[in-house]
Amino acid sequence: MVKVRFVNLEAQLTLIKDVIISKITSFLESGYYIFGPELNNFEKSVAEYCESKFAIGVGNGTDALFLSLKALGIGNGDEVITVPNSFIATAGAISATGAKPVFIDVKDDFTMNPNLIEQAITEKTKAIIPVHLTGKICDMDPILEIAKKHNLFVIEDAAQSIGSKYKGKKSGSFGDFGCFSLHPLKNLNCFGDGGFITTNNEELYNKLLLLRNHGLINRDECVLWGYNSRLDSLQAAILSIKISDLDKTKERINYIVNKYKSGLKNHVEIPSHEDYDDIFYHTFIIKTDKRNELKKYLLEKGIETSIHYPIPIHLQEAARELRYRKGDFPIVEKQAETILSLPLYPELTNEQIDLIIKEISSFNFY
């Protein structure tokens, strides 16, 4: 019998169901189903939350990356530097433009190792996509310095890091673009697919407005070949409610994370952070050489866990044409064999948190 689910969206809905239903009813009666005031209000709110001048709602987090690359003119023959321990969408979006993903290894904290960037730069390199994995923002100062030195664009894959800060500055406000996912499993989530892009560049913002809507300047005139990637106004209406609860969500998540760190530090390797980090954790990932055994043991005790991610991108069948081999990125590969994600959502009860800590502490690691 499952005592602790890894994901429990139903519990989240229960707390806000009446408000959501009322909002949906009002939205349906408005008749503004594509674009309209709900999307405008959400974009304004989320731009303010992310401390960026502009935010553009799009169909999903993958489209956020793809449209950002297209807005910068990146395509056939170009190269984009990123990491192989992300979700497949990061490299997939690069490939979809016709460009080539170029991988580098990460640090122990799962984020891009800035010391490895310059050796991966070629005359074809056009951009860097640092991935803020688990909620932790990459070490952005050296990344931005290298990008400026080599005249490269920076696109933050911020799908997992809304609300996190690096040296007092919010995720998504560092690069040319910040790309966010609103997938149901994210800290700010909708009831389906959704995403948005942040930028401080008005020219790029205006280009994105065209790209997400077929390149249309009005119903009848098209000025460039674009795409259909609009954030549904219904989702924007729901998100406008949820964004007001983000700070409260972060407070609860921090409470759970601190309980985990305190209770598990003598048994497994726990996430590390710098003094300047202010992390809004998306996942809480521990490391142990007995990962598979621990995962099985916890499931037998009724506790679901997950792995983010068991197969690095460079070892996926889809990446065969990139000609990477096992051993090319030893830190990423070692992490893939030892990482385990614990349940982490605000609706976890204190009793469930204590149970997870108790069972992990009782496991035989020797």
Cβ atoms of residues 205 and 54 within 8 Å: yes
Which fold, 246-362? Answer: Aspartate Aminotransferase, domain 1 (3.90.1150)
Give residue-wise pLDDT tens across range 55-108. 999 999 999 999 999 999 999 999 999 999 999 999 999 999 999 999 999 999
Please give the structure tokens belonging to residue 1: 């019998």
Neighbouring residues of 186: CB distance < 8 A, sequence distance ≥ 6: 159, 160, 162, 180, 282
H-run or E-run covering 153:
strand 153-157
Domain segments of the chain as ranges: 9-244, 246-362
- Structure pTM? 0.97
How crowded is residue 291: how many other Cβ atoms within 10 Å of its Cβ? 19
For the segment 308-332, what is each residue's pLDDT rounded down to a tens digit? 999 999 999 999 999 999 999 999 9
> Residue 234's closest CA among 38, 29, 61, 40?
38
SS3 197: strand
- Considering only CA atoms, which of 214, 222, 182 is closest in space to residue 34? 214
Place of tokens 């664009």: 153
Distance, C-alpha 61 to centroid of its chain: 8
pLDDT (tens digit, 0 to 9) for every residue of the chain, 366 residues total? 899 999 999 998 888 889 999 989 999 898 889 999 999 999 999 999 999 999 999 999 999 999 999 999 999 999 999 999 999 999 999 999 999 999 999 999 999 999 999 999 999 999 999 999 999 999 999 999 999 999 999 999 999 999 999 999 999 999 999 999 999 999 999 999 999 999 999 999 999 999 999 999 999 999 999 999 999 999 999 999 999 999 999 999 999 999 999 999 999 999 989 999 999 999 999 999 999 999 999 999 999 999 999 999 999 999 999 999 999 999 999 999 999 999 999 999 999 999 999 999 999 998
User: What is the per-residue pLDDT for 333?
Assistant: 98
Q: Fold identical between 9-244 and 246-362?
A: no
**Helix residue ranges per DSSP H, the chain:** 9-30, 37-49, 61-71, 89-96, 140-149, 202-211, 233-242, 246-264, 291-300, 330-338, 350-362
* Peptide bond connecting 32 to the previous residue in cis, omega within 30 degrees of 0: no
Q: 167 phi and psi, to 5 degrees?
A: 55, 40
In whole angstroms, give the CA distance from residue 204 to residue 63: 15
**Hey, what are 356's tokens?**
């997870």
Confirm if 82 and 129 have CB atoms less than 8 A apart: yes
| Distances 109 to 51, 60, 131, 183 between C-alpha atoms, Å | 25, 26, 12, 24
Q: What CATH number should be reported for the domain whose range is 9-244?
A: 3.40.640.10
Token representation of residue 114: 């800035």
